[in-house]
């Protein structure tokens, strides 16, 4: 099976500053990748580079076998990149349903299917974005990305600031979404203990480079690596 996301020797950053000196990464269909690392190690820059909002110095990015390197962010979205930024960026003056239909593209992820995944959104389908709780706004941001029918779903700290019960609900949904077929996910997350229970694979960044790439199950029991790169002591057990 071909990779849904293929990044080869990507050199990227902001202005003249290079944050990712030479990034290569591949994800297959159905794969959930946890992107971990301390603050300032390049996690968000990698997500932003896939989206197309950083400066690319060299290297390539392909989605579903199609080179998207030269495409604008909006063209990359149509080519199969769904993005849920840390700020969520929902349309607060539009209703839930209007948010979901505003950018929808044909495919298996319809508004009705998003409502099945997040019943709370259907209950609030006529509410405006600014009338939703933080958890509901995050569900809406994920739902809106899904209605693009992406091949690659990028989530930058999707659980930040949310109540633990909502975090568990979101992470369960994200696992179901990715493993339903036709998609792969990269999730940036500070809570290593939570994300290791969901992810198939973990990549840890330091200074814009991959310093650890392994199955999440292996990292759970690797106390030395967790302490060295993430400052997590005592293992990653819940």
CATH number at residue 226: 3.40.50.300
- Full-model pTM: 0.92
User: Does 92 map to a domain?
Assistant: yes
Percentages helix, strand, coil for the chain (3-state, rounded to 5) are 35, 30, 35
User: Does 61 map to a domain?
Assistant: no
Which residue has tokens 């996690």? 43
Torsion angles phi and psi, residue 94, rounded to 5: -110, 155
Torsion angles phi and psi, residue 121, rounded to 5: -70, -35
CB 67 within 8 A of CB 120: no
User: Does 58 map to a domain?
Assistant: no
CB 79 within 8 A of CB 85: no
Q: What is the count of structural domains for the chain?
A: 1
pLDDT in tens, the chain (238 residues): 579 999 999 999 999 999 999 999 999 999 999 999 999 999 999 999 999 999 999 999 999 999 999 999 999 999 999 999 988 889 999 999 999 999 899 999 999 999 999 999 999 999 999 999 999 999 999 999 999 999 999 999 998 888 888 888 888 888 888 888 889 999 998 878 788 888 999 999 999 999 999 999 898 888 899 889 888 765 444 3
Give 20's strand partners.
12
User: Does 202 map to a domain?
Assistant: yes
Rounded distance between C-alpha atoms, residue 179 and residue 194, angstroms: 18
CB 84 within 8 A of CB 52: no
């Amino acid at each position: 099976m071909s990779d849904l996301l293929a990044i080869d020797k990507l050199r990227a950053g902001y202005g003249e500053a290079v944050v990712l000196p030479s990034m290569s990464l591949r994800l297959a269909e159905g794969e959930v990748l946890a992107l971990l690392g301390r603050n300032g190690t390049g996690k968000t820059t990698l997500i932003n580079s896939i989206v197309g909002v950083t400066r690319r110095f060299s290297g390539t990015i392909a989605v579903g076998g199609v080179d998207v390197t030269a495409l604008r962010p909006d063209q990359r979205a149509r080519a199969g990149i769904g993005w849920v930024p840390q700020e969520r960026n929902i349309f607060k003056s539009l209703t839930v349903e209007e948010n979901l239909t505003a950018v929808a593209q044909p495919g298996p992820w319809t508004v009705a299917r998003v409502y099945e995944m997040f019943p709370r959104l259907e209950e609030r389908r006529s509410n405006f974005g600014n009338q939703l709780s933080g958890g509901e706004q995050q569900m809406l941001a994920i739902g809106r990305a899904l209605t693009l029918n992406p091949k690659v779903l990028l989530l930058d700290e999707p659980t930040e600031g949310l109540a633990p019960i909502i975090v568990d609900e979101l992470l369960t949904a994200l696992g179901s979404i990715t493993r339903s077929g036709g998609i792969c996910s990269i999730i940036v997350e500070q809570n290593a203990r939570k994300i290791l229970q969901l992810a198939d694979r973990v990549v840890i960044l330091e200074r814009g480079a991959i310093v650890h790439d392994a199955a999440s199950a292996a990292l759970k029991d690797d106390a030395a690596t967790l302490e060295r790169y993430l400052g997590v002591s005592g293992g990653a057990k819940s």
